[in-house]
Amino acid sequence: MRIGIDVGGTNTDAVLLDGQLVLADTKAATTQDVTSGIVDALDALQRRRAFDPAAVTAVMVGTTHFINAIVEADRLAPTAALRLGLPATRGVPPLVDWPDPLLKAARAQPYLCHGGHEFDGRLIAPLHHDELRRAAEDMAVRGIRSVGITSVFSPVNAELEREAAATLTEVLPHLHVSLSHEIGRMGLLERENATIVNACLRELADHVCRGLTQTLREFGLTAPLYLSQNDGTLMDIDHARRYPVATFASGPTNSMRGAAFLSGLETCAVVDVGGTTSDVGIVAGGFPREATAEVSVSGVRTNFRMPDVLSVGIGGGSRIRERDGEVTVGPDSVGYRLREQALVFGGDTVTATDLAVAGGLAEVGDPAPVRSLDRRVVRAGLELMATEVAGLVERMRTSPAPLPVVLVGGGSILLPDRLPGAESVHRPDHFAVANAIGAAIAQVGGEVDRIFAVEPGRRDAVLDSAKQEATDRVVAAGAAPHSVQIVEVDEVPIAYLPGNATRIRVRAVGDLVLDTAGDR
Amino acid sequence: MSFQLELSDLPDLVRGAALLGTGGGGDPTIGRTLVAHALRRRGDDGEPATITVLDPDELTEDDFVIPTAMMGAPSVLVERLPSGDEPAAALAALEARLGRRATATMPIECGGINSTIPLLVAAQRGLPVVDADGMGRAFPELQMETFAVYGVNGSPLAMADERGSTAVVDAGADNRRMEWMARGLAVRLGGVAYIAEYAMDGPTVQRTAIPRTLSLALRLGATLREARETHREPTAALREALADTLYRHGEVLFTGKVVDVERHTTEGFTRGAARVQAFDSDAVCRITFQNEFLVATVDDRVVALVPDLITVLHLETGEPITSETLRYGHRVTVFAIATPELMRTPEALATFGPAAFGLDEEFVPVEQIEKPQVTVLS
């Protein structure tokens, strides 16, 4: 048995799975401390279907907590961005173009120091340890507790980042350190941004990961605990603590993979309707389609691999208004206060959920208060929501043929069983907890990352063997062989080593075999 | 017509420059950041400064135009960012050598970061920028200029680095030798350097430059943005926008997923090749590059080659992808643009046609090449 948990901004969902079979699901409100919401969800799960915690073999958690902290510019550690690159690079300093609220929230402080490598392995400048110690002393004065260190060409040679970290922590032993070569790829600005974002989240990650471990232990769950990563694979809790940025895209990834799993569709559009927004993504051949344009998280340019998602401000808690005969939906929402403020829950705010109940699309709460709603408003509001969501699906579609649409998320009760332009509309069992299911059916990943000698004319053969090795690792880790795909191939020539030395990084992922016997 | 370029124009400009950069020319977003900061620094009362862009027709004999640029490997530029002072230092070094101040600067190429380097210099020095360039696109080498084709010497060339070091290269009338000497210096400086070269008066600009390519980049960048905002197929919008320009013709060569990118930083260039696999067949498009995309083949048949422009666009958004950011898994459209007639003359082809890159193929205009059926994306 496995437990999948999704900690969203509004709800914490939990599912209990045995192989491919969903034994029970539940929804609870997310709490500020994260962990008590999880306890509520686990208690509810236990009530739905009693299980022995000792029989659970793995707990998989997907969370948008970390990306939300960046989006909301809240709960961030005072952070330094230290770059090794002087006398080059000063024309585009660290944190350039970061939005003000984020800079303020992280009390972000840039430091430009000497160091960095040339592409061919020469030094741009050696480290000036005095300069680094002065930077550390300044950080101490400013109360900085976390640092992101980025050195020019560190994917080729990482030694200066490690050395600088050692010097800084001599002065500030408790400083959290994030090193760019462990987080990003070539492209200094994007890698540096991802590293600083990671640094901003390090304290929060410590806190959340410690809380998670403790909470689950107190519940009697001794199974290994994993967090979902951007590509749908899992990382252990200790890795998550150090690399919280790796969870950033796990929300949409889990929802799309969960939807594909529940509906049995390999290629479809997925509409995930929450309390505040509807997110539309595309699953092609079982994988979420990746965003290809510049990915910016809250105004910060990065080069993360993220699923391609379009959002609109329509959710279960969206406020409904009428002015001059025109009905509007959202974009503001009562959010997690839906259960106090919506008419069907005895409140006095007209929400999208009230329209769904009045229109006969859903049975939620007490239908009496919505009977007095103007029928015209109800019809216009529901039509508007269906049209807007159908429009998003249309925008995401890249082939002329209509796609099947899978509706998931608690708010998907707002949508009708037919959408304009959709080949068909699916509302699979357990649709409301697709994210938690996505977490529980996580994929396994396998990576090869080392330096190969690429003799002239042998490149294809070397790449093929690296791909095979990555594939073998995924299968060895429990993936179904036919499901394995190569998702990333990265080559960095290491010019300062002899023999055409090249750092080759290949990443493969595959579906975990989900039969009970294979469960570990 | 001359106009004022504003801070808010930069996103469209760099998007268009990335397109005309035909895969090379260096990451223009770095240029955008540099120019944006220079404009904010020079502005008054929180209002950013603007840059005067001069129409080439308005230049006179009294004008003295010195183009400024970056040279080197784009794959180095994205890591080893500039200090921002190098191009203006190169300009000052060339002015000192020539004993004459520039009245304006100009791009040597209208693609990639080199559309923005003259803007940076202009913002720092308060100079105007001429709306023209010497490549009508981006090319990897300094002699590959319409300036050179039509009789202007690149020498003397001044180079500067982030440490304040400068050098002047003077190879007389031999622009190839100038390129070769300057390239050697650029490698010593870490693979990227900043230069001023091809100083000339107003009438010479009018005779030898490809006119109005900055405003063209601005317009093509806006076309791609508007296509995305209105959910229009980006290549259809581009074809329409190109129809009444010097470039006239654009067409889709291929669509598919990038399955391989081979890339090396050698001799001050980024060299390599990419393979794109069709979505619904076994067809493979191969694109070779030396900073810029040079040749595209589909199943080993040439479908477009230099000096026609080969661009790679993100399939869904139409956003141009440069050769150093292209990677495994990208879903792309390969799109070709016909080069202006001024760049297809025998003397132009001798300077930057296929043979200048050591290729055996004869140049055939892209609109005349018979192509396999374009793969319709699935």
Q: What is the pLDDT of residue A210?
A: 93
**Quick one: average pLDDT of A156-173?**
96
Burial code (b: 16+ CB inside 10 Å, e: under 16) for B140-168 equals: bbbbbbbbbbbebbbbbbbbbbbeeebbb
To the nearest whole percent, how much of chain B has pLDDT over 90? 77
Same domain, B156 and B284: no
CA atoms within 13 A on the CB side of B230: 11
User: CB contacts < 8 Å between A and B, how many?
Assistant: 113
Residues of B in Cβ contact (< 8 Å) with A116: 80
Among all chains, which residue has been given the structure tokens 């304040």? B164
Is there a contact between A207 and A237 (Cβ–Cβ < 8 Å)? no
H helices within A326-443, ranges in order? 338-341, 352-358, 375-396, 434-440
**Quick one: average pLDDT of B311-336?**
89
Asked whether the predicted pLDDT for residue A313 surpasses 90, the reply is no
Count of Cβ atoms closer than 10 Å to residue B354 Cβ: 19
Same domain, B152 and B282: no
Element spanning B128, H or E: none
Cross-chain residue pair B265–A122, CB shorter than 8 Å: no
Distance of alpha carbon A350 from the chain centroid = 32
How many domains are contained in chain A?
3
Asked whether the predicted pLDDT for residue B114 surpasses 60, the reply is yes
**Quick one: average pLDDT of B349-369?**
93
Same domain, A278 and A386: yes
Same domain, A322 and A449: no
Which of these three, A381, A403, A428, is where a domain ends?
A428
Same domain, A274 and A397: yes
Query: What are the structure tokens assigned to A180, written together?
Result: 């760019």
Phi and psi at A126, nearest 5°, equal -70, 160
Q: What is the pLDDT of residue A462?
A: 93
Q: Which residues contact B175 (CB under 8 A, 6 or more apart)?
A: B142, B143, B145, B148, B153, B154, B155
Same domain, B42 and B118: yes
Quick: pLDDT tens for B324-351: 888 888 889 999 999 999 899 999 999 9
Q: Closest by alpha carbon to B108, among B125, B89, B132?
A: B132
Q: A293: pLDDT confidence band, cut at 50, 70 and 90?
A: low
Asked whether the predicted pLDDT for residue A381 surpasses 80, the reply is yes
pTM: 0.88
Cross-chain residue pair A152–B80, CB shorter than 8 Å: yes
Same domain, A421 and A472: no
Same domain, A126 and A170: yes
Q: B377: pLDDT confidence band, cut at 50, 70 and 90?
A: very low
In a domain, B7, yes or no: yes
Distance CA B74, CA A257 (A): 37
CA atoms within 13 A on the CB side of A422: 27
Q: Where residue B182 sits, what CATH number does that domain have?
A: 3.40.1610.10
In a domain, A433, yes or no: no
Same domain, B123 and B241: no
Q: What is the pLDDT of residue A353?
A: 93
Q: B155: pLDDT confidence band, cut at 50, 70 and 90?
A: very high
In this complex, the residue of B75, B162, B261 whose CB is nearest that of residue A88 is B162
Element spanning A125, H or E: none
Burial code (b: 16+ CB inside 10 Å, e: under 16) for A107-127 equals: bbbbbbbbbbbbbbeeebbeb
In a domain, B223, yes or no: no
Same domain, B39 and B180: yes
Residues of A in Cβ contact (< 8 Å) with B325: 187
**Count of residues making up chain B:** 378
Same domain, B295 and B356: yes
Asked if A463 is an interface residue toward chain B (Cβ–Cβ < 8 A), one would say: yes
Q: Which residues contact A47 (CB under 8 A, 6 or more apart)?
A: none
Q: A484: domain range?
A: 442-518
Q: What is the pLDDT of residue A502?
A: 85
In a domain, A204, yes or no: no
Distance CA A388, CA A312 (A): 8
Distance of alpha carbon A242 from the chain centroid = 15
**Quick one: average pLDDT of A11-21?**
91
Query: What are the structure tokens assigned to B206, written together?
Result: 């009018």
Q: A514: pLDDT confidence band, cut at 50, 70 and 90?
A: low
Q: What crossing angle do the helices spanning B28-42 and B10-20 adopt, rounded to 10°?
A: 150
Cross-chain residue pair B76–A395, CB shorter than 8 Å: no
Quick: pLDDT tens for A116-162: 999 888 999 999 999 999 999 999 999 999 999 999 999 889 999 99
H helices within chain B, ranges in order? 10-20, 28-42, 74-77, 86-98, 117-125, 146-149, 175-188, 202-208, 213-229, 234-242, 346-352
Phi and psi at B5, nearest 5°, equal -90, 130
Element spanning A317, H or E: none
Asked whether the predicted pLDDT for residue A286 surpasses 80, the reply is no
Distance from CA of A419 to the nearest CA of B (A): 19
Asked whether the predicted pLDDT for residue B42 surpasses 80, the reply is yes
In a domain, A254, yes or no: no
Distance from CA of A81 to the nearest CA of B (A): 16
Same domain, B202 and B237: no
**Quick one: average pLDDT of A251-279?**
90
Q: B373: pLDDT confidence band, cut at 50, 70 and 90?
A: low
Q: Which residues contact B70 (CB under 8 A, 6 or more apart)?
A: B26, B77, B82, B87, B113, B114, B117, B192, B193, B194, B195
Residues of B in Cβ contact (< 8 Å) with A301: 29
- Among A22-26, A461-465, A478-482, B147-151, name the one with the lowest average pLDDT: A478-482
Q: What is the pLDDT of residue A406?
A: 96
Q: What is the pLDDT of residue A519?
A: 42
**First CA to last CA across chain A, in angstroms?**
9
For chain B, the average pLDDT equals: 92
- Among A107-121, A474-488, B159-173, B346-360, name the one with the lowest average pLDDT: A474-488
Quick: pLDDT tens for B248-304: 999 999 999 898 998 887 787 888 999 999 987 889 999 999 989 999 999 999 999
Element spanning B201, H or E: strand B200-201
Same domain, A104 and A184: yes
Q: Closest by alpha carbon to B189, among A106, A205, A119, A218?
A: A119
| DSSP code at position A119 | T
Q: What is the pLDDT of residue A410?
A: 86
Q: Where residue A313 sits, what CATH number does that domain have?
A: 3.30.420
How many domains are contained in chain B?
2
Cross-chain residue pair A189–B30, CB shorter than 8 Å: yes
For chain A, the average pLDDT equals: 89
Asked whether the predicted pLDDT for residue A517 surpasses 80, the reply is no
Distance CA A276, CA A311 (A): 10
In a domain, A212, yes or no: no
Sign of CA dihedral A20, A22, A27, A33: negative
In a domain, A393, yes or no: yes
Identify whether B156 is preceded by a cis peptide bond (ω within 30 of 0): yes
Same domain, A419 and A273: yes
Distance of alpha carbon A326 from the chain centroid = 37
**Quick one: average pLDDT of A62-84?**
90
Same domain, A271 and A293: yes
Same domain, B204 and B256: no
**Quick one: average pLDDT of A355-378?**
90
Using a 10 angstrom Cβ sphere, with 0-12 exposed, 13-18 middle and 19 or more buried, the burial of residue B57 is middle
Same domain, B207 and B65: yes
Residues of B in Cβ contact (< 8 Å) with A399: 377-378
Cross-chain residue pair B262–A487, CB shorter than 8 Å: no
Q: A230: pLDDT confidence band, cut at 50, 70 and 90?
A: confident
To the nearest whole percent, how much of chain A has pLDDT over 90? 54
Which of these three, A142, A172, A197, is where a domain ends?
A197
Same domain, A270 and A415: yes
Asked if A100 is an interface residue toward chain B (Cβ–Cβ < 8 A), one would say: no
Q: Closest by alpha carbon to B15, among B290, B276, B229?
A: B229
Asked whether the predicted pLDDT for residue A26 surpasses 70, the reply is yes
Which range, A1-10, A403-412, B128-137, has the best average confidence (pLDDT)? B128-137
To the nearest whole percent, how much of chain A has pLDDT over 70? 97
Distance CA A303, CA A193 (A): 9
Same domain, B188 and B269: no
Which of these three, A428, A462, A497, is where a domain ends?
A428
Same domain, A325 and A392: yes
3-state secondary structure of A300: strand
Same domain, A86 and A182: yes
Quick: pLDDT tens for A190-222: 999 999 999 999 999 999 999 999 999 999 999
Q: What is the pLDDT of residue A518?
A: 38
Same domain, A392 and A273: yes
In a domain, B220, yes or no: no
From residue B268, alpha-carbon distances to A125, A307, A477, B169 in Å are: 20, 35, 43, 17
Residues of B in Cβ contact (< 8 Å) with A304: none
Distance of alpha carbon A13 from the chain centroid = 16
- Among A511-515, B101-105, B297-301, name the one with the lowest average pLDDT: A511-515
Q: A520: pLDDT confidence band, cut at 50, 70 and 90?
A: very low
- Among A96-100, A165-169, B90-94, name the one with the lowest average pLDDT: A96-100
Residues of A in Cβ contact (< 8 Å) with B30: 92, 189
Element spanning A366, H or E: none
More confident residue, A137 or A9: A137
**Quick one: average pLDDT of A17-36?**
88
- Give ipTM to 2 decimals: 0.89
Distance from CA of A92 to the nearest CA of B (A): 7
Cross-chain residue pair B319–A124, CB shorter than 8 Å: no
Q: What is the pLDDT of residue B165?
A: 95
Asked whether the predicted pLDDT for residue A50 surpasses 50, the reply is yes
Q: A70: pLDDT confidence band, cut at 50, 70 and 90?
A: confident
Sign of CA dihedral A41, A43, A49, A51: positive
Residue of A92, A95, A308 to mutate, testing the B interface (most B Cβ within 10 Å of its Cβ): A92
- Interstrand relation of A485-493 and B3-5 (parallel, antiparallel or unpaired): unpaired
In a domain, B376, yes or no: no
Q: B305: domain range?
A: 232-368
Is the backbone of residue B60 left (phi > 0), alpha (psi -120 to 50) or beta?
A: beta
Cross-chain residue pair A399–B377, CB shorter than 8 Å: yes
In a domain, A223, yes or no: no
Distance from CA of A90 to the nearest CA of B (A): 4
Same domain, B178 and B266: no
In a domain, B190, yes or no: yes
In a domain, A386, yes or no: yes
Smallest CA–CA distance from B269 into chain A, residue:
A119
Same domain, B136 and B247: no
Q: What is the pLDDT of residue A292?
A: 62
In a domain, A43, yes or no: no
Q: Which strand ranges, in their side-by-side order, compose the sheet holding A21-29?
A: A21-29, A11-18, A2-7, A58-63, A225-228, A234-236
From residue B61, alpha-carbon distances to B2, B203, B205 in Å are: 17, 6, 10
Distance from CA of A447 to the nearest CA of B (A): 15
